[in-house]
Amino acid sequence: MGKERLEAFSDGVIAIIITVMVLELHVPAGTTLDALVPIIPIFLSYVLSFVFVGIYWNNHHHLLRAASRVNGVVLWANLLLLFFLSLIPFVTGWMGETQFQATPVALYGVILWFSAVSYTLLVRALISNHGGDSVIAVAIGDDRKGKLSLALYTIAIPLAFFIPLAACACYVIVAIIWFIPDQRIERKIEQRAEE
């Protein structure tokens, strides 16, 4: 089964998610710079989510490049990932409009946690479809980044109820960890191509 339409559909959904978030940035009431002040937390929340959705698109791009085919399980794992990503605009808006209050920050982490788990399920579905010695399987390896992210989210969620900004710091750390695209896959593909 071809992977092209899966990529196209995912691109479409992720493109809409990343853009729909900006609708949360309502036109301010005033006409001066002061009018922008209440929007600052909403803007920061938007920047964080833009980076996260951008990272997911980047990694999804790399992951599917390493795949040569998809099956029904992969389609559904992909839809599960898109479902949790589609909730990011909602939690982004809540977190921003409440100026990073405890519960919204925790819920933001919960959605990131589920997104990360769905991504892992998608990776597993692709590996089991391609075989344990495939490019994907070798490239993902022990998935240190993925495990670290999940650990950070798991710490951040309860932490949010005590020090919301510390939880936000965890999210920023995860974003920095993933900022560099998944060069493992890139490198492995090149190695294979050379062999």
Least Å from the CB of residue 95 to a second copy: 9
Q: Could you identify the residue written with the tokens 């929007």? A: 39
Q: Is 61 in the site for a second copy (CB under 8 A)?
A: yes
Nearest to a second copy of 78, 149 (CB atom): 78
Among 89, 121, 83, 122, which residue's Cα sits nearest to residue 108? 89
Q: Is 114 in the site for a second copy (CB under 8 A)?
A: no
Least Å from the CB of residue 193 to a second copy: 12
Nearest to a second copy of 151, 165 (CB atom): 165
Q: How many CB atoms lie within 10 A of CB 194?
A: 6
Site for a second copy in 123-182 (CB under 8 A): 179-181
What residues line the site for a second copy (CB under 8 A)?
A: 1-2, 5-9, 11-20, 22-25, 27-28, 31-33, 35-36, 47, 50, 54, 57-58, 61, 64-65, 72, 75-76, 79, 82-83, 86-87, 89-90, 93-94, 97-98, 101-104, 107, 179-181, 183, 186
